[in-house]
Amino acid sequence: MSSDYKTIEASPVSPALGAEISGVDIAAGIGDEQFAELRQAYVDYGVIFLRDQDITPDQHIEFARRWGDINVNRFFQPVATHPMIAEVRKEADQKANIGSSWHTDHSYDQIPAMGSILYAREVPSVGGDTLFASMYAAYDALSDGLKKMLSTMNAVHSSRHAFGEGAYVDTDLDDLGGRLGNTGAATQDAIHPVIIRHPLSGRPALYVNGDFTVRFDDWTQAESQPLLDYLYAHATQNEFTCRFHWRRGSVAIWDNRATHHCALNDYHGERRLMHRITIDGVALEPAAAA
């Protein structure tokens, strides 16, 4: 999994995915060689973590631009002074958090985002960890028969049910009001291969999404749901995951095509404030086509 790095050190956090990277100081500036190694580590591990970064919103944006164009989220409340940064916030008196179910971001877009850079500004004294799961491991562990069937299938993804009118009403998410919004903009539908060839690693990865996939293409929703539920449970088995414990100043950079994530909501009564910048991706190709 790992490459030979000269300017960084990578310590894997689980056998399936994720590595904590040391030797990087975003605020001090990152040279081209080190940035190339960071990018390689991101490809190698699916999600990489940095500790003790002290960065301003402008430095966060500048760092994000090294990875690609910034994809401004339509539904998250932006940081007032820096609309390119989405706020992932839960106040001490709020019950619902953002991102508490397993998902990957923005798969409702025709060209889904490459990944996100999440920066911890305030963290609870205990709890608030994020889980990540490897969609390579999920694919690799499928039977040959299911791999073959899924390799020719596509799935329909949508933002409508997740962010559209009524999405948070009368649910346990209703106190997300004010943190998620812009329901009128939830008009995206997209069709993606169920098994993609990862645009950077070339590896096959499972690409269905508990938050945004509505059905398989040419299948009804009722036909699709049992298999989708099977795949979601399969993909998030403990051995395909890692768990990241945040400290103030931690950064996670994840790949939306290679991983899913889930923000644990186990810190009621304390505030957690994260700044997220999402990076543009490319159109996804089926693994079978390569």
> How many of the chain's residues bind ligand SIN (CB under 6 A)?
9
**What one-character DSSP code corresponds to residue 117?**
E
- What distance, in Å, lies between the first and last C-alpha atoms of the chain? 21
Sorted by sequence, the CB contacts under 8 Å of residue 17 that are 6+ apart come out as 45, 46, 47, 132, 133, 134, 136, 137, 240, 241, 242, 258, 259
The reply on whether position 48 binds ligand SIN by CB under 6 A is: no
**Considering the rule CB under 6 A, would residue 241 count as an interface residue with ligand SIN?**
no
Tell which residue, 157, 156, 148, has the closest CA to residue 204: 148
Among 13, 195, 274, 284, binds ligand SIN (CB under 6 A): 274
Tell me whether residue 276 is one of the annotated catalytic residues: yes
Minimum separation from the CB atom of position 274 to ligand SIN (A): 5
263 contributes a contact to ligand SIN by CB under 6 A? yes
List, in sequence order, the alpha helices (H) in 83-239: 135-140, 144-150, 160-163, 221-235
Q: Which of 71, 73, 130, 241 binds ligand SIN (CB under 6 A)?
A: 130
Quick check: 257 binds ligand SIN (CB under 6 A)? no
Known catalytic residue at 234: no
| Helix intervals (H) in the chain | 32-45, 57-67, 135-140, 144-150, 160-163, 221-235
Question: CB nearest ligand SIN: which residue?
Answer: 99
Q: Mark whether 172 is an active-site residue.
A: no
User: Pick from 39, 102, 70: which is nearest to 243 by CA?
Assistant: 102
Report if residue 99 touches ligand SIN, rule: CB under 6 A: yes
Residue bearing tokens 């095509």: 257
Distance of alpha carbon 285 from alpha carbon 239, whole angstroms? 27
Distance CA 78, CA 217 (A): 33
Binding flag, residue 115, ligand SIN (CB under 6 A) = no
Catalytic residue among 74, 89, 105, 272: 105
**120 near ligand SIN, rule: CB under 6 A:** no
Exposed e or buried b per residue across 276-288, where buried means at least 16 C-beta atoms within 10 angstroms of its C-beta: bbbbbbeebebbb
Closest distance of CB 24 from ligand SIN, Å:
20
In the chain, the amino acid numbered 192 is H
Tell whether residue 8 is a contact of ligand SIN (CB under 6 A). no
Element (H, E) at 48: strand 47-50
Question: Residue 113, interface with ligand SIN (CB under 6 A)?
Answer: no
CB of 120 to ligand SIN, least distance (A): 9
Of 74, 89, 103, 257, which residue is the catalytic one?
Answer: 103
253 scored as a contact of ligand SIN (CB under 6 A): no
- Cβ distance to ligand SIN smaller for residue 23 or 57: 57
At closest approach, how far in Å is the CB of 261 from ligand SIN? 6
CB of 105 to ligand SIN, least distance (A): 6
Verify binding: residue 88, ligand SIN, rule CB under 6 A: yes
- 275 belongs to the catalytic site: no
Tell me which residues are annotated as active site. 103, 105, 261, 276
List interacting residues with ligand SIN (CB under 6 A): 88, 98-99, 118, 130, 261, 263, 274, 276
